[in-house]
Structure 1
Amino acid sequence: MSLSSPLPPRRGLRAWLTSDTPASRFQARLGRYYATWRALSSNPLTLLGLAILLALVLVAAFAPWLAPFAPNDQDLANRLAPMGGLHPLGTDQLGRDILSRLLYGSRVTLAIIVLVAVISAPIGLAVGTIAGYFGGWVAAVLMRVTDIFMAFPRLILALAFVAVLGPGIDNAVIAIAITAWPPYARIARAETLTFRNADFVRASIVEGAGHWRILMTQIVPLCLGSMIVRVTLDMAGVILIAAGLGFLGLGAQPPTAEWGAMISTGRDYMLDQWWVAAMPGIAILLVSLAFNLLGDGLRDALDPRKRRS
């Protein structure tokens, strides 16, 4: 670490992080991270959502060690067994352990969430910032394309893309990502319109900075806060769309353990063996709720008007 970024003193670390006059960019950056964490940690519901998502990551990572059985092992003698004993959450119509399939299904859900966010968020950010910064015919073309995608319900549009691409997890991810980026583009464009005529942008232009450099070094970083909040809140909808595709047989294909497909196979037993469909439904509910709780907390923490000192 350079001399311009002094280490915090052994005492008074909190005061060093919350200093109104940071001595370096490093200290200022750590101070912003600390203020954001304080805002998040002061909200119990946000911490609950974060805990559920961390549990999802851990469960997905250690599923082979946590699951009592392999996800596709069949025990026909114990098919549709109730909860308890060797099968804490019961078994399905083929005698497969529901708990094991839930644990392995968390991997599919987490993979879909990460891939959709990685694909759709950069696309929406790029379209929105370019449209907002350059304006004119560039904005007209890009935003009309955005409006076309937003004119259709996301699930219907995803179904159309999957019908063209074919069933499967990979195609489901592509279809969901294609339908998820338009809201991000609108948010990025609105944020860019508030910054493009700011004094610091005009000063960069006077100093000879190019448009693309201004976009990448000044505009895009300022849009990241709103994008992170919107992506987090949208993940609940992504989970529901992925589960809907799996329910219709267009997502993960048998015998892959996927929560939406598990609900589909259990719908015929809802009256007598309710746990077959209820357990994956509860898992979807908890993860969706966790993303909403975390998104609400991030929205408050990243809003300078609500950030606590």
Structure 2
Amino acid sequence: MSALAAWLTTATPASRAQARAGRFYRGTLALLANPLAAAGLVLVAVLLLVALFAPVLAPYAPDAQDLARRLQPPSFAHPFGTDQLGRDILSRVIWGSRITLVIVALAAITVAPIGLAIGIVAGYRGGWVDRVLMRVTDVFMAFPRLVLALALVAALGPGIENAIIAIAATAWPPFARLARAETLTLRRQDFIAAARLQGASHGRILLRHILPLTISTVLARLTLDLAGMILIAAGLGFLGLGAQPPSPEWGAMVATGREFLTDQWWVATMPGAAIFLVSLAFNLIGDGLRDVLDPRSQGR
């Protein structure tokens, strides 16, 4: 029996929790030591604060119209300018951060569990279970994600709820593949054999031994994929299939501003810049997590 197997079979729950807390602390310090990851964390923290305090930060109501001030360039009164209905673009971008976070958060907490469950079950059980689950995964991966999301939203109807369902239904296959690959490696380890010898059930092995060791890798992939989810949500909004007017959704704002892109560039540029910054932030965090969780990237 290896040292890891011996520790897993003899350690108390308190010692395991203490070890996990220590790993989390060291991983957090390593992540903050990465300048790009730290910058991504700062951007995401700013986004969360903006979304949380939107009623205080927004100088105007997001749907307040003033046709006398339509299509005004950025100024002191309207730092991001106004749109074709005289609405303050800064206020709409601030309130739109809430919609973006809701879409991404709900899609993420749906995608990761689905992908993890399918991946670890397929990798652990093998045989016909693995073949069936992976063939289903291959079917979903055969279609471009945005095309499949468009088809699902077109079938379900436009709206933010259906957009979340479409994003979740199209984003889980890579997580299932990744979790399966990790499980195929873990199930051959000595500590899994030791757990079986002690009479642990398949469910206990999956939940107590394999799942905790696959979460970190899936979490890094999830952080990277959040940027793609944001772009898909913005794409659905751009095509009129996401949040419906007058909701200040960033993709829909870019769609309305494309008519004025030549002369009134700020109408589409400001929400487009918000999409870019948020996507960049999650990509930076994902890269930092990958560096922290992959020993090979640290020169070891």
Which TM bucket (shorter chain)? over 0.9
Which amino acid letter does the alignment assign opposite residue 212 of structure 1? Answer: G
What does the per-residue CA deviation read over 1:218-257, in whole Å, with 9 as the maximum and x for residues that have no partner? Answer: 0111100111000000011001000000000000000000
What does the per-residue CA deviation read over 1:79-113, in whole Å, with 9 as the maximum and x for residues that have no partner? Answer: 00000121111000000000000000000000011
Does residue 60 of the first structure (1) align with residue 47 of the second (2)? no
Does residue 193 of the first structure (1) align with residue 188 of the second (2)? no
Mark the runs of 5 or more structure 1 residues left unpaired by the alignment. Answer: 1-22
Partner of 1:268: 259
Which residue, 255, 280, 303 being the options, matches 2:294?
Answer: 303
Which residue, 282, 287, 292 being the options, matches 2:278?
Answer: 287
Alpha-carbon distance, 1:307 to partner? 5.6
Partner of 1:19: none
Percent of matched pairs sharing the same residue: 66
TM-score, length basis structure 2: 0.93
Alpha-carbon distance, 1:133 to partner? 0.2
Which amino acid letter does the alignment assign opposite residue 59 of structure 1? Answer: V
Partner of 2:7: none
Which amino acid letter does the alignment assign opposite residue 242 of structure 1? Answer: A
Please, which moves more after superposition, 33-42 or 286-295?
33-42
Which amino acid letter does the alignment assign opposite residue 221 of structure 2? Answer: R
For the Cα contact (< 8 Å) 1:35–1:308, is it kept in 2?
A: no
Which residue, 123, 134, 155 being the options, matches 2:125?
Answer: 134
2:219 is paired with a residue of what secondary structure? helix
Does residue 251 of the first structure (1) align with residue 228 of the second (2)? no
Partner of 2:65: 74
Which residue, 187, 194, 197 being the options, matches 1:203?
Answer: 194
For the Cα contact (< 8 Å) 1:128–1:184, is it kept in 2?
A: yes
Which amino acid letter does the alignment assign opposite residue 64 of structure 2? Answer: D
Q: Within 5 A, what are the aligned runs for 1:117-132?
A: 117-132=108-123
Mark the runs of 5 or more structure 2 residues left unpaired by the alignment. Answer: 1-13
TM-score, length basis structure 1: 0.91
Does residue 92 of the first structure (1) align with residue 83 of the second (2)? yes
For the Cα contact (< 8 Å) 1:129–1:185, is it kept in 2?
A: yes
- Return closer, same or farther for 1:130/1:27 CA change in 2, 3 Å cut-off: closer
